[in-house]
Amino acid sequence: MSGHSKWSTIKRKKGVADARRGQMFTRLGREIEIAARDGGDPAMNFRLRLAIDRAKQSNMPSDNIERAVLRGTGELKGDAIEEISYEGYGPRGTAVIVEVLTDNRNRTVSDVRRVFTRHGGNLGETGCVAWLFERKGYISIVPQDGEGEEVALMAIDAGADDVKLDEDLVEIFTRLEDLQKVKQALTDAEVPIDSAELSWIPKSMVLLDEKATLQNMRLIDELEELDDVRQVYSNLEISDQAMAAYETA
């Protein structure tokens, strides 16, 4: 996963996230709305708490957050939002999962299929690649002042399944039921968390040549640009050379 997380950091540095701020608020609002269907109290609904935390990290206005919660609990009217996952193959057979939050299933599947086709991939049937991934809790942290090893040990003590560490990033993997506990332990220790989410983690990665890697990265980029797409997951391994080529593009 570290290649993908570094890739996300590069996007933020290039200002991609800021350029799509309005789109991001729409996505975050839908995510909060979906989560709030299981209860509008974030103290009792961990998924809602995660969604609200992400919204606050992105500086989403409090009024927007409150309205999204009320739509989810049915106290405000809104469009019917569906949560759907699509699966497919990128160039050279990489596995891709696309999570969407949509009010128009037909529009969304047409948009997703078109992007796959344009970049040399194809949209598959439900279940075609999900078996290549595991559903896990995922936390990423940008270590401060060389404290990566200390953070990693703290996460393991709190119940993390696995930790990947390099000088730029600490990635923490947990069982779904342990994500809340590990996140809370890090928060209590005042560790700044970059992201915390329920994620699809590849069981193994696929390493391609630079050209094919960049083709897959462009596919994922364009999928992420679709208004209805919440998150894209892939088993693509991103080499340092491909990362550098992408960063200078």
Q: In CATH, what is the architecture of 82-131+204-240?
A: 2-Layer Sandwich (3.30)
Answer yes or no: is pLDDT of 3 > 60: no
Answer yes or no: is pLDDT of 22 > 70: no
Residue-wise pLDDT tens digits, 132-167: 999 999 999 988 877 889 999 999 999 999 999 887
226: how many CB neighbours lie within 10 A of its CB? 19
The CA-atom distances, in angstroms, between 151 and each of 112, 136, 143, 183 are 38, 19, 8, 12
What number does CATH give the domain 9-72? 1.10.10.200
Superfamily of domain 132-202: YebC, transcriptional regulation domain (3.30.70.980)
The CA-atom distances, in angstroms, between 59 and each of 22, 29, 201 are 11, 12, 27
- CB 81, CB 33: distance < 8 Å: yes
What percent of the chain has pLDDT above 90?
A: 75
At 146 the pLDDT is: 76
At 56 the pLDDT is: 93
Residues 6+ apart with CB under 8 A from 106: none
Q: What is the mean pLDDT of the chain?
A: 90
Helix (H, G, I), strand (E, B) or coil at 65: helix
* 190: confidence class by pLDDT, cuts 50, 70, 90: very high
Q: Tell me whether domains 82-131+204-240 and 132-202 share a fold.
A: yes
Taking the domains of the chain in order of start, what are their residue ranges? 9-72, 82-131+204-240, 132-202
The arithmetic mean of pLDDT across residues 46-72, rounded, is: 94
Sign of the Cα torsion 35, 138, 147, 169 reads negative
